[in-house]
Amino acid sequence: MYSHWRYANEFCLSVPLAIARTNCPVTTQAKPGCMSLGYLQWLYANEYMYYRIAHMLSSAEHPHIRYNPLRDDWILVSPHRAKRPWQGQVEKGEDAAIPRHDPKNPLCPGNTRASGKVNPNYEGTFVFTNDFQALMEDTPMPEPSSDPLFQTAQARGTCKVMCFHPWSDMTLPLMEVKAIRSVVDKWAEINKDLGERYTWVQIFENRGAIMGCSNPHPHCQVWASSFLPNELAIKDRTQRQYMEKHGKPMLVDYLEKELKKQERIVLESKHWVWLVPYWATWPYETMLLPKHHVLHLHELSDQAREDLAVMMKKLLTKYDNMFEVSFPYSMGWHGAPTGEWLQKDCSHWQLHASYYPPLLRSATVKKFMVGYEMLAQGQRDLTPEQAAEKLRSLPDVHYKERNK
């Protein structure tokens, strides 16, 4: 506001005194000395301020686009659309009773899977090779093609399933911190082990049927591949370019600036920050970032792992408290590539986890990424700042545990 006033006054001072005296804005008579120069300056400054205010962008009201430096693309933000009535598809609630142990569930302890293998009576985490893998370890090399429009490359890899807990009715936010810490340690172990053999190790969790999860038992998946997937190839390029230009890893620099602004921070601890990215696409999309520079999960210190377990319980509790439902999402970890990349300089990378929840207005109304989003660019209604404020305001105690 002050800068606008100062700019207007500087402009008025540049107007010759004779012109100011003979062009009084509040009189139709052009006569010398009709008004002081000081009053004219004040009047012009205020008119300028009113004009600027009337035409100033309000990110909470007006459509605008935001740049995503990680993906090198733009997202359309349309906050005014949040007011529109909804008569579209309504999802079913997903908090139906789930048996603690289902003898027909292939992920439960002691049960037989489709492959004929029997699960051990595990009491903590349990990892096994997916019975229906998307990748195979021994895949033949395809014939080379000279046609640029028909290219094929070899794809080798393996797919694992990791159960978090022996009980099917348990979820991460309801687990004890000690049990979540076991999940974190197992993630780190798998990332290190498979990373010695494969270029990329993708740890991800699809939670809820709305996100394509075919089994309610608490679990995640790990896909390791001999190639760098598309999303990560983009992130490697953008982070490398940022490092070359600014001399600092992009997400390290970004977190420092977000901590100063405090506009999109949801939770902060000694080692971690949970925030809504400035460029978030999904309604309540968030990112989990370490406060120190680290490239891989297995490089996290003991203190950082313990703090991560506490942070995960808190953030997932807030998610569930949003609509008092087991909040669906897809999440995953992104760090520096592995395999042959371990011998390269990957200091431009920063470890981070991303959460992509689809729910928008309630437990039954989700955001659809169709039409414009598929054919043009991503779009969101709720602003990232509004989403962060909503998440911050939610209770820290899980809704299922309030009356215990």
Annotated binding site for UDP-alpha-D-glucose: 81-84, 114, 130-131, 206, 212-214, 221, 367-368, 372-373, 379
Which residue of the set 165, 217, 219, 348 is catalytic? 219
d(CA 223, CA 231): 14
Task: End-to-end CA distance of the chain: give it in Å, rounded.
Answer: 51
CA distances from 160 to 43, 104, 112, 126, 138 (A): 71, 20, 17, 10, 16
Annotated binding site: 81-84, 114, 130-131, 206, 212-214, 221, 367-368, 372-373, 379
Is residue 219 among the annotated active site residues? yes
> Quick one: three-class SS letters along 183-251?
HHHHHHHHHHHHHCCCCEEEEEEEECHHHCCCCCCCEEEEEEECCCCHHHHHHHHHHHHHHHHHCCCHH
Number of H helices, E strands in the chain: 9, 12
Q: Are residues 118 and 111 in contact, defined by beta-carbon separation less than 8 angstroms?
A: yes
Instruction: Tell me which DSSP letter residue 102 carries.
Output: -
User: Which residues neighbour 234 within 8 Å (Cβ) at sequence distance 6 or greater?
Assistant: 70, 71, 72
Tell me the C-alpha distance between 98 and 79, whole Å. 37
How does DSSP assign 279-339, residue by residue? T--STT-EEEEESS--S-GGG--HHHHHHHHHHHHHHHHHHHHHHTS---EEEEEE----G
The secondary structure of residue 99, as a DSSP letter, is -
360: nearest Cα among 318, 322, 394, 331: 322
Residue 279's nearest CA partner among 378, 164, 390, 201 is: 378
CA distances (Å), origin 260, targets 263, 277, 278, 342: 9, 14, 14, 33
* Strand, coil or helix: 26: coil
CA angle at 289 for the pair 207 and 165, rounded to the nearest 5°: 35
Task: Give the residue numbers marked as catalytic.
Answer: 219
